[in-house]
């Protein structure tokens, strides 16, 4: 049976995408993940949810020979989803060289292997952070990119620019997916965001605060030029994000893509403020959150949300989950991991 390689398959979005691949397609799936920000125990959860085993190759994608060996061992591979990257905005500011080396070297090695082993369908995990501090909202794929505000975002922007030249020369078709703010977990409650390092993203901070893992949470600024002064983001359920990857693969494998380099926004199109997200969580779970409003966090943009009409029209992708459902699935996951600790 045709196989899909998922790099970063033990990570948050990677593991959820594997779950959706195993539930909704007939592909065989293997993961390449060196565990730098994930743990292989996610594979047991994938087995519990889907009933299927997934093999993970614990390989550093910056090691070309080791990566090459994985492709050689999986000659039936017809597509790749490349999630593996360091992705903490704050950490990238403190460790720029680590981010530039890891994120670029790994991408280039994976592309080289795809060329060498004739894997023609490549889905790349990009980010709305390539837009920088945009002024015109909602953001479409044609919105002019402003200056990126972190090395992390810069690695995603450089990756997109490199892939454009590569797509012209190599016999590989690429779809780049610009995620807005992925949140939530598997509806079973048995998979979700589980980074090795303490999370800094809003929703895991909310659920850790609600469950007592954190005594309180901070709201970074309520003096922005937005509805209620707090930052606005486009939160999108991780299952919706995962489904977009399946639709992108389908488009490339069927050859209905109109170019070897296609970019799609993945967001709901609804901007939600931090305070509105907190309210949605409290209403959904009936758990009151202990939060304190403090000054702004450096690097935050006031507002960004998407126009994802292009993905709807060309991929047939329609987000299924609203902010309340995102919060309830995130809460279910937090209660699950708390019960395991
Ligand atoms: C959201 C809002 C914070 C924590 C993320 C990823 C980035 C990219 C885009 C994929 C901001 C506020 C947060 C807290 C808070 N995704 N906040 N208190 O910064 O939009 O970026 O999505 O590539 O990789 O990092 O997400 O969840 O950190 O912040 O007030 O304890 O919540 O100030 O306004 P962000 P986030």
pLDDT at residue number 312: 98
- Give tens-digit pLDDT for 189-239: 999 998 677 888 999 999 999 999 999 999 999 999 999 999 999 999 999
Pocket test for ligand 1, best of 202, 217, 223, 292 (most atoms within 8 A of CB): 202
Pocket test for ligand 1, best of 37, 125, 129, 131 (most atoms within 8 A of CB): 129
Q: Which residues are catalytic?
A: 152
Closest Cα to atom 13, ligand 1: which residue?
202
CATH superfamily of 3-184+235-267: NAD(P)-binding Rossmann-like Domain (3.40.50.720)
- On the question of pLDDT at 341 being above 90, the answer is no
Dihedrals phi, psi of 253, to nearest 5 degrees: -65, -35
Q: What are phi and psi of 233, to 5 degrees?
A: -135, 165
Task: Inform me whether the pLDDT recorded for 40 exceeds 80.
Answer: no
Residue identified by tokens 């296609």 is: 262
- Mean of pLDDT values over 14-27: 98
Distance in angstroms (rounded) separating the CA atoms of residues 257 and 319? 21
pLDDT (tens digit, 9 = 90+) per residue, 58-115? 999 999 999 999 999 999 999 999 999 999 888 899 999 999 999 999 999 999 999 9
Classify residue 137 by burial, with Cβ atoms within 10 Å: 0-12, 13-18, 19+.
middle
pLDDT of residue 39: 80
Q: Worst-scoring range by mean pLDDT, 30-39, 45-54, 135-144, 243-252?
A: 30-39
- Alpha carbons within 13 A on the beta-carbon side of 191: 31
Q: Is the CB of 21 under 6 A from ligand 1?
A: no
Q: Which atom of ligand 1 is nearest to the CA of 126?
A: 23
Residue 19 pLDDT greater than 90, yes or no: yes
Q: What's the pLDDT at 267?
A: 98
Contact status, residue 289 vs residue 219, Cβ threshold 8 Å: no
Q: Is 89 in the pocket of ligand 1 (CB under 6 A)?
A: yes
pLDDT at 284: 98
pLDDT of residue 133: 85
Residue 299 pLDDT:
77
**198 pocket-lining for ligand 1 (C-beta < 6 Å):** no
Q: In angstroms, what is the C-alpha Rg of the chain?
A: 19
The phi, psi pair for 65, rounded to 5°, reads -60, -40
Predicted confidence at residue 166, as pLDDT, reads 98
Binned at pLDDT 50, 70 and 90, residue 269 comes out as very high
Cβ–ligand 1 contact at 311 (below 6 Å):
no
Q: What is the mean pLDDT of the chain?
A: 96
Residue ranges per structural domain of the chain: 3-184+235-267
| Amino acid 81: pLDDT | 98
What's the 281 CA to ligand 1 centre distance in angstroms? 16
- Write the pLDDT tens digit of every residue in 282-326: 999 999 999 999 999 987 889 999 999 999 999 999 999 999 999
pLDDT band for position 1 (50/70/90)?
A: confident
**Atom 27, ligand 1: which residue's CA is nearest?**
201
pTM, two decimal places: 0.96
Ligand 1 within 6 A of 277 CB?
no
Confidence (pLDDT) at 108: 98
What is the pLDDT, as a whole number, of residue 203?
97
Ligand 1 centroid, distance to 202 Cα (angstroms): 6
DSSP 297: P
Note the pLDDT of residue 197: 74
- 181 Cβ inside 6 Å of ligand 1: yes
70 lines ligand 1 (CB under 6 A): no
pLDDT over 80 at 168, yes or no: yes
């Amino acid at each position: 049976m045709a196989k899909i390689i998922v790099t970063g398959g033990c990570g948050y979005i990677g593991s959820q995408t594997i779950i959706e691949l195993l539930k909704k397609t007939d592909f065989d799936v293997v993961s390449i993940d060196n565990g730098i920000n994930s743990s292989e125990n996610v594979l047991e959860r994938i087995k519990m949810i889907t009933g299927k085993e997934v093999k993970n190759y614990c390989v550093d994608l910056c090691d070309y020979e080791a990566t090459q060996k994985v492709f050689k061992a999986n000659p039936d591979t017809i597509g790749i989803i490349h999630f593996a990257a360091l992705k903490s905005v704050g950490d990238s500011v403190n460790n720029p060289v680590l981010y530039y080396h890891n994120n670029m070297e790994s991408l280039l090695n994976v592309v080289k292997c795809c060329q060498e082993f004739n894997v023609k369908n490549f889905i790349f995990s990009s980010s709305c952070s390539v837009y920088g501090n945009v002024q015109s909202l909602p953001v479409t794929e044609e919105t002019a990119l402003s200056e990126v505000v972190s090395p992390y975002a810069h690695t995603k922007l450089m990756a997109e620019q490199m892939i454009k030249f590569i797509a012209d020369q190599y016999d590989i078709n690429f779809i780049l997916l610009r995620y807005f703010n992925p949140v939530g977990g598997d509806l079973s409650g048995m998979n979700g965001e589980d980074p090795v390092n303490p999370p800094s993203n809003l929703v895991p901070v909310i659920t850790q605060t609600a469950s007592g893992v954190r005594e309180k949470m901070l709201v970074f600024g309520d003096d922005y030029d937005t509805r209620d002064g707090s930052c606005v983001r486009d939160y999108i359920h991780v299952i919706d994000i995962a489904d977009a990857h399946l639709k992108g693969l389908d488009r490339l494998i069927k050859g209905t893509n109109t170019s070897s380099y296609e970019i799609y926004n993945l967001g709901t199109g609804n901007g939600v403020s931090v305070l509105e997200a907190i309210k949605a969580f409290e209403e959904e779970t009936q758990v009151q959150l202990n939060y304190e409003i403090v000054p702004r966090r450096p690097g935050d943009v006031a507002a960004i949300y998407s126009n994802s009409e292009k993905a709807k029209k060309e991929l047939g992708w329609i987000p299924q989950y609203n902010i309340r459902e995102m919060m309830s699935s995130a809460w279910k996951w937090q209660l699950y991991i708390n019960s395991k600790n």
